[in-house]
Structure 1
Amino acid sequence: MVNTGKPSPGCFACRSRRIKCDTTRPECRKCRKRGWKCPGYRDLNALRIVDETQKQFTRFSGDKEGSEDGPGVSPTKDIIIRQYIPPGERSSPSSATTSSMTGSYPSPVSQAATPSSPKSPLNYESQWSMEIPRCIGTPVGEQVYSYFLSNFVQGTSLRNHGYLDFLFPLLANEPPGKDHPLPLAFSATAMIAFAARQKVPDLLPRAEATYLRALEATFQAIGDPNRARDNSTLACVTLLTTFEQLRPSRPSYQKAEAFGSHLDGAVALLKMRGKDVFQTVVGRKIFLILRSLLVSRSICYATPLEPDLYHLTDEFQQDPAQHRFAELSLRAADLRVGVERLLGGWGLGHAPLPHPPPRESVAALLRDAEAIEADYAAHIANLPIAWKGMTVRCMTHADPAIMGGIAYVGRVDAYIDMFICYILNWARAARLYVQNTAMRCRAWLLGPEGDYREVPEYAATQQLCEAIIADIVASVPYVFGAARASSGYTEGVSPGRYQPPSLAGVFCMWPVFAAASSDFATETQRTFMKRTLKYISEEMGIGQAAILASYNLRSPSMPIAFTRMKQFEQLGKPFHGVAIGAAAGSTMASGLRDIVKTTGTIISSPRPHSLGMPLRVLHEHPDLD
């Protein structure tokens, strides 16, 4: 056996000084007492015990031409390449223990039947040997790649849903060399992920340099008609998009939409290939990820989707429940784009219309929003039991803090795995945006001088949105390990020290942002979700979350205020807001700044209600916003 000892959970400083660390998070008291900045803790999930008796290691030595084998492969030092074994195929007791402790998301809901899905092309884990190939070996260290594989690639759920697990067969077929884009993109993304979470700033310049080389190599591949149709080129674009999500936020590129250019390139490749992308399992897997990213961007930023994406979705065969969610999300994205085109000016890239839109068009958009919400509600109500969350506990003051010290009091909803939680949370976020669109249409139809909060539909919208936000908030503790405390799979593991995979932060940051931006979230909920975004950014190394946490939005009140200002301008009347709004300090669109500059007012959020408030945050700090 390798590494049979128990790894120390202490911070880097205490381990280097060989003293006992108190493992207080986010920084240990001993570092604080000496006036040092605690360097943080390593990811215990990346430290794995591997049984060599099953010959899961392949050793190779670099030859005289080793300098051409990859980005900096040593020609003299042997490199251990670790074979990945899917959780369902691990048979040894030690391997099974490690899998249950670090690789999956066990929960009390696990005993329910998994969602019924017939044998589909996506059940492909046995079609290749998932082995880390030679082409990604670098002297940066195996720990970087082990971290990235355990956090982003291998299966992290009971149904073995790996996020980037299509990389194994692609990298295995890539010849080693400096000019191949896929190994470069993999190395750059692995380094930025490791450096961001493990607090290794010296690795960031190297990751950036490798990223630029990967960009250049990818451009060359796209310019070749044959290579442009290859799955490895599409995988490169997916990895570069992931790099932009993980990239630490800096003033030089502090935009959450920085990854949009890579998504546009992915769309061009998908249009070029058409249904050809479905001929291989790898292509189908990449399509699922890219479609999810494209729809997410469209719903949040009102970015139009290409018609080819709708056609490809119709041709794609997958689990019926997932396919229905995909269809509804595409309709929600269309609705989001439609309201910006019609009412104009609030979404990025949508200029205000010079003339008022036809009243019939706004009414038709409102009917579309109501129809989409009805279809969402019907689909969720008809889901099998395994697709639904279950309230497994109610956390109290006596329970340990989650997410590096954030105290949480309230209900905890668990799911059969993180993948299902991710799909449901994105459906909830889409429903919030659909309700925002419906309320904006009602406010416009009411006219600039009416109060949209007095219409009969407002109370029903408020009740629905409060319930949706409560569900999103109650899922956050599960995503970050709170449900593990009562699970028999985690015996001997301290829940306060559990470090969730970084993929958990990627999966939940956008739904959390959508809920935190809603008018119908209480201030307590909003504070908790802001802290969640900051934790995802600062402790999990997801740079995009820092940008989302910096926004201070309120929807639908801010878009309604902006549209109302334009209505007054078209009528030739001065604009008067109905309440002073402190939330207008930071916005995603410059239009609202004009409102504040001109009038100093916006339409305020509704008064907080006690209904639907599932938690209470302890030790609130006023400087979080």
Structure 2
Amino acid sequence: MLCLPDETHKARQCDTTRPECRKCRKRGWKCPGYRDLNALRIVDETQKQFTRFSGDKDKEEEEEVPAAGSSKNIIIRQYVPPGARHKSPRGSTAVSSYPSPVSSQASSPNRNRSPPFIYNQSQSPDQIPQCIGTPVGEQVYSYFLSNFVVGTSLRNHGYLDFLFPLLAKNPPGQRDHPLPLAFTATAMIAFAARQKVPDLLPRAEATYLRALEATFKAIGDPARARDNSTLACVTLLTTFEQLRPSRPSYRKAEAFGSHLDGAVALLKMRGQDVFQTAVGRKIFIILRALLVSRSICYATPLEPELYNLTDAFEQEPAQRRFAELSLRAADIRVAIERLLGGWGPSHAAAIEPTREAILAVLHDADALEAEYAEHFRTLPFAWKAMTVRYLRQTDPTIMSGIPYQGRVDAYIDMFICYMLNWARAARLYTRNTSLRCRAWLLGPEVDYRDTADYAASQRGGAEIIEDIVASVPYVFGAARVGGSGQTQATTAVPSGGSYQPPSLAGVFVMWPVFAAASSDFATEAQRTFLKRTLKYISEEIGIGQAAILAGYNLRTPSMPIAYTRMKQFEQLGKPFHGVASGSAARTTMASGLSDIVRTTGSVISSSPSPPPAYHLPRQHMPLRMLLHEQQDLPTPGHKV
């Protein structure tokens, strides 16, 4: 890579360090910066550093080695994945690109070998320790930038690339500003989780607490609360909670949610002022996606201000349409939870369900699914998935030894894959809502799975899950295009190293994978693959939130339907087949519902009776107009 030329010097070889090239700094030259963020290539100089420190002098220019300190030191060696434990040629630098069949502009650092790290226990908690040959801080920051900031998209520069202009004003190292603290804490937790450096976790936690305290002070200041850097701090803190390993799930969920609630408060205070800068617009897109995903998954109501901001926000048509549909999907998810409750007594219904209210939610869910299907059908060609190959049993395994058989789809870039997969997850939850409504309307003594609507929903859900499954190999490198133009089933790169997918890939795909793995429409083979994918994201990619998702053993919509039927049986005064009644039934449902559903498939007390007669559907009307109108169910042939 070359630094941009200035008035007195020609373009020079750049060593890709931040915030400026060290070669320029050493010679006293002003470094104008890099040519293009999308063309940034992070070069692995691990072998060079290891060789120089071991005593083998090469022709590389000498660099100052930081002192290790006089107090007790801790030696940390970087984690090396099992598939990458082989010797690479001396002095070689392996650079791998993101597995897009269209673009290979960005890169992910190859981590085959790395020097031991030394950090001094006498250092302050927010200081990143030093390493032999190269400060660990540079490796931590370079890792975070290449995995979360610098993008691989043809449409966007990166995911957290709004940090570049903000950190230029407040670079890492400042102890009184929340943004450098939040950036340092998140970079350290990401590096420690992915590279298996447990001794770095306490320092990341300590820096996180300092960032939290500084952020609270900034929010309390009316002037600073309106600054983009404060909103960026909250975004980084939510990322920290997603990456944080080894913490009880309820505490992690509470902290993650509290940061998002803080982001909502800041967005409400700023209003459309957040759209005045490119940085504010980018932060809004990220926070809106996080808020909507939390609402769809946890049935958390959205603030009305989020709808107003979305209406006022100008965006590319396809992305804007996805945003509008996702907001409606979140509304429907919240509505069904308020009416029928969730998985057990701890998620009870907020209001007594009525036939009119259930019908209103059903019609909204059916209409939303139809609009989702139409939007997918009319997407531009650049948004379409491309089937690049089929993997068979004889092909190599992927993702650290996970076997996969089936279709492999590729996309123009990871961001498009991310948005499509989240839309697919929203469609699965919307279909679950439709089936929950239909099961409630049929009553507890009729098997909802014997209807034509269930068969149609099952076919559509299976197609959605197949699309999600087919995207996973691409996200983690199995759809890469080699030098000959042929797709590769393995994660090997031409230089002989092992491809390391960016950590952001795990963040993007874990929730859609969880939605597909929890669906009744997934096959056992698909469920096994998806569960192993979540485990891989947690253990190899270093995303702590994926470990929580991998531990759940849920089935939707059958499990919430089973709990609803238990309550319906109690209201009818009939025995609940296979489970005790009353409080004992509620305890059993809360603790062992998965076993009941896995054994019986559904919860019924008598043989299924024929479904009632259906009538022609009427035109869809908004939820608010249907609250006091009684309507009939659609025809069995109506596709959900």
Query: TM class by shorter-chain length?
Result: 0.7 to 0.9
Name the count of aligned residue pairs. Answer: 505
Partner in structure 2 of residue 457 of structure 1: 453
Counterpart of 2:15 in structure 1: which amino acid?
Answer: V
- Tell me the equivalent position of 1:575: 576
C-alpha deviation, 1:57, in angstroms: 3.9
Aligned to 2:560: 559
User: Percent identity over the alignment?
Assistant: 70
Equivalent in the alignment of 1:32? none
By how many angstroms is 1:498 displaced?
Answer: 1.1
**Aligned-partner SS, 1:413:** strand
Q: 1:496 to 1:569 in 2, by over 3 A?
A: farther
1:158 CA displacement: 3.3
Distance apart, 1:250 and its partner CA: 2.8
Q: How has the CA–CA distance of structure 1 residues 51 and 245 changed in structure 2, closer, same or farther, with 3 Å as cutoff? A: closer
Q: What amino acid is aligned across from residue 186 of structure 2 in structure 1?
A: T
Secondary structure at the aligned position of 2:597 is classed as: coil
Which residue in the other structure is 2:395 paired with? 399
SS of 2:161 mapped into structure 1: coil
Task: Provide the residue aligned with 1:86 in structure 2.
Answer: 36
- Note the 1:238-387 alignment, pairs <5 A: 238-251=235-248, 255-256=252-253, 258-346=255-343, 350-353=347-350, 355=352, 357-387=353-383
Q: Which residue number in structure 1 is paired with residue 636 of structure 2? A: none
Equivalent in the alignment of 2:15: 50
Q: Which moved more, 1:445-454 or 1:400-409?
A: 400-409
Distance 1:92 1:187 in 2: 19
Match of residue 185, structure 1, among 145, 164, 182 = 182
Using the alignment, how far apart are the partners of 1:495 and 1:593 within structure 2? 54
- Change in Cα spacing, 1:477 to 1:170, as seen in structure 2 (3 Å) is same
Equivalent position of 1:145 in the other structure: 141
The corresponding residue for 1:536 is: 537
Any idea what SS the aligned residue of 1:259 has?
helix
Q: Would you say the 8 A contact 1:245–1:544 is kept in 2?
A: yes
The structure-2 alpha-carbon separation of the partners of 1:569 and 1:91, relative to structure 1 and needing over 3 Å to count, comes to closer
DSSP-derived class of the 2:409 partner: strand
1:106 aligns with 2:100: yes
Change (3 A) 1:190 1:454: same
Residues 570, 49 of structure 1: alpha-carbon distance in 2 compared, 3 angstrom cutoff: farther
3-state SS of 1:304 partner: coil
- What residue number does 2:160 align with? 164
> In the superposition, relative to structure 1, how do residues 577 and 288 fare at CA in structure 2: closer, same or farther (>3 Å)?
farther
Deviation at 1:571, TM superposition (A): 2.5
Q: Distance in 2 between matches of 1:572 and 1:437?
A: 26
Q: Distance in 2 between matches of 1:545 and 1:82?
A: 40
Residue 407 of structure 1 and its aligned partner are, at CA, apart by: 1.6
Q: 1:90–1:437: structure 2 CA closer, same or farther, 3 Å change rule?
A: closer
Give the counterpart of 2:420 among 402, 418, 424.
424
| CA distance in structure 2 between the aligned counterparts of 1:496 and 1:521, rounded to whole angstroms | 35
- Secondary structure in structure 2 of the residue aligned to 1:497: coil
Indicate conservation of the 8 Å contact 1:103/1:150, yes or no. no
Q: CA deviation at 1:297?
A: 0.4
Q: SS of 2:555's equivalent? A: coil
SS in 2 for 1:482: coil
Q: Which residue of 2 aligns with 1:476?
A: 472
Q: CA deviation at 1:533?
A: 0.2
1:567/1:253 CA distance change after superposition, 3 Å:
closer
Q: Does the CA contact (< 8 Å) of 1:396 and 1:408 recur in 2?
A: yes
Distance 2:594 2:391 in 1: 44
TM-score (norm 1): 0.74
Pairwise CA distance, 1:457: 0.4
Higher radius of gyration, 1 or 2:
2
What amino acid sits opposite 1:236 in the alignment? C
Partner of 1:132: none
List gaps (5 residues or longer) in structure 2: 3-12, 45-91, 105-125, 131-135, 580-584, 603-640
Tell me the amino acid that sits aligned with residue 532 of structure 1: T
- Conserved in 1, the CA contact under 8 Å of 2:388 and 2:410? yes
- Cα distance, 1:401 vs structure 2: 1.6
Residues 1:435 and 2:412 aligned together: no
Hey, what's the Cα distance between the residues in 2 that align with 1:82 and 1:156? 23
Equivalent residue, structure 1, for 2:203: 206
1:389 touches 1:414 (CA, 8 Å); kept in 2?
yes
> How much does 1:86 deviate?
2.8
State the alpha-carbon separation in 1 of the partners of residues 261 and 35 from structure 2. 34
Aligned amino acid, residue 539 of structure 2? E
Match of 1:225 in 2: 222
Q: Select which of 151, 158, 170 maps to 1:155.
A: 151
Task: Give 1:337's aligned amino acid.
Answer: V
Distance 2:306 2:586 in 1: 31
Letter in 2 for 1:86: D
SS of the counterpart of 1:518? coil
- Per the TM alignment, residue 261 of structure 1 is displaced from its structure 2 partner at its CA by 0.7
Query: Are 1:244 and 1:258, in contact at CA under 8 Å, matched by a contact in 2?
Result: yes
Match of 1:173 in 2: 169
Q: 1:213 to 1:91 in 2, by over 3 A?
A: closer
Q: Which residue of 2 aligns with 1:518?
A: 519
Give the letter aligned to residue 157 of structure 1.
S
Separation of aligned partners in 1, 2:214 and 2:595: 50
Question: Offset of 1:174 from its aligned partner?
Answer: 1.8
Instruction: Give the whole-Å Cα distance in 1 for the aligned partners of 2:324 and 2:349.
Output: 29
Deviations 1:123-173 (A, max 9, x none): xxxxxxxxxxxx998744210110000000011233344110000000111
- The answer to whether the 8 Å contact 1:161/1:419 transfers is no
Name the amino acid aligned to 1:197. R
Say if 1:257 and 1:465 are closer, same or farther in 2 by CA, change over 3 A.
farther
User: For residues 599 and 547 of structure 1, do their structure 2 counterparts lie closer, same or farther at Cα, with a shift above 3 Å needed?
Assistant: closer
1:217-274 per-position Cα deviation (integer Å, ceiling 9, x unaligned): 0000001010011000000000000000000033486644541110000000000000
